[in-house]
Amino acid sequence: MFTSTKGPARAVSPGRIIQRELDERGWTQNDLADVMGRPSQAISEIINGKKQITAETALELGEAFGVDAAFWSSLQSSYNLQQARRNLDKHEVARRSRLYTATPLAELIKRGWVAVTRKSPIAEQEAAVCRFLCIPKIGTAPKLAVSFRSSEHRGPEWSAKVAWAKRVEQLAAPSVGKLPAFSAAALRKKIPALLKLSETEEGVPLVPAFLAKLGIGFVILPHLPKTYLDGAILPVDGHPVVALSLRYDRIDNFWFTLLHEIAHCLEGHYVFIEQNGADEDDADRQAAEWLLPTAEFEAFVARSGPRFTLAEIERFAKTLKRHPGIVVGQLQRRLDGFGYSNGRSALVKVRQSLTAYIHS
């Protein structure tokens, strides 16, 4: 007689165990049907695996054989799990798990970055992702050199950031080969000329061509969900490429992110690292200094704070030859207590003037 409440080490058909119990007792299936008050056909179907042991049946078998009902429930559960495991290759669960861990496949399909559908065979999906990431097989880390700028208060999905950067590479590749050679020294000399473009809204669409003359690529690609990326810089075919997401469609964010990436460019920070390290802090400080030099900024705060009327902001911006929205953005960033509602009319949008450079 079975007295253990634990399931067998190896899952076997519950029907076989029931039949052994009947044989040991000298009962027929009809006898068990009478004991349990069940039709003979129902007992036959359970023994032959055509019907599963329900909780009610487990209780009745427990009473009939003097074995805890949990044994019969566990027996059925273990058998079901074993049968499912035999079919695991057909379901390809493990392969799909690795695939979705390697990249945000559903989003890549939605944006048309890979030429498969969510119902495509797993082999086709794997091949498409390998081509997209330029890797030999799923699980191989993509080769990528990039410095990301993203929010430090959120947890970006690393695989999505990698996918975004790989897409930037693909978009930039056809055009960077036509650019002149890049020189950090030449770029450094041109920083004042670049900053002159920040005085008006009309200067924004001139930035890509300005960078191109210095051998720098430029791409705008909306960020993927859960990445919260503002921008990045990465090398493509020997040229630095500045990539922006325009996550915040504001002139201040455009210029700060752009100059943050330019700071990386001058220092050669094309390092595949999680952001918010010392290099990121240095790039933030340099971008802020370029936009509003510390001495001038502090003097303005001392004479105009804490009210900072829009007229005062505009006069200060004109003195520095910066757009007023840049001053507002830097006040928000660098001055505690400066409300985010202050001067918002100066934070003009830039997306419309950059549509030729925006990719999906």
37 plus 108 within the same structural domain: no
Query: Do 43 and 29 contact (CB within 8 A), yes or no?
Result: yes
Query: Do 36 and 44 contact (CB within 8 A), yes or no?
Result: no
Q: Report the relative pairing of strands 217-220 and 239-244 from DSSP bridges.
A: parallel
277 plus 341 within the same structural domain: yes
247 plus 333 within the same structural domain: yes
Q: What is the pLDDT of residues 278-307, one digit of tens each?
A: 688 889 999 999 999 999 999 999 998 788
Domain count, the chain: 3
Give the pLDDT band of residue 6 (cuts 50, 70, 90). Answer: very low
In a domain, 329, yes or no: yes
The CATH number given to whatever domain includes residue 53 is 1.10.260.40
Last residue of a domain, one of 47, 63, 86: 86
Query: Do 350 and 249 contact (CB within 8 A), yes or no?
Result: yes
- CA dist 113 to 108, 109, 118, 129, 164, Å? 5, 6, 13, 9, 10
306 plus 165 within the same structural domain: yes
pLDDT higher than threshold 90 for residue 89:
no
pLDDT at 279: 80
Q: Report the relative pairing of strands 239-244 and 229-236 from DSSP bridges.
A: antiparallel
Please tell me which of 45-49, 87-91, 348-352 the model is most confident about, judged by mean pLDDT: 348-352
pTM, full prediction: 0.75
289, two tokens: 């200094």
The long-range contacts involving 15-19, CB below 8 angstroms and separated by at least 24 positions, are: 15/46, 15/47, 15/48, 15/49, 17/75, 18/46, 18/47, 18/61, 19/47
Query: Do 206 and 139 contact (CB within 8 A), yes or no?
Result: no
Domain that holds residue 126: 92-133
Phi-psi bin for 30: left (phi > 0), alpha (psi -120 to 50), beta? alpha
238, two tokens: 């020997």
179 plus 269 within the same structural domain: yes
pLDDT at 295: 95
In a domain, 163, yes or no: yes
Q: What is the pLDDT of residues 206-255, one digit of tens each?
A: 999 999 999 999 999 999 988 889 999 999 998 999 999 999 999 999 99
Cα dihedral sign, 214-216-222-225: negative
218 plus 76 within the same structural domain: no
In a domain, 306, yes or no: yes
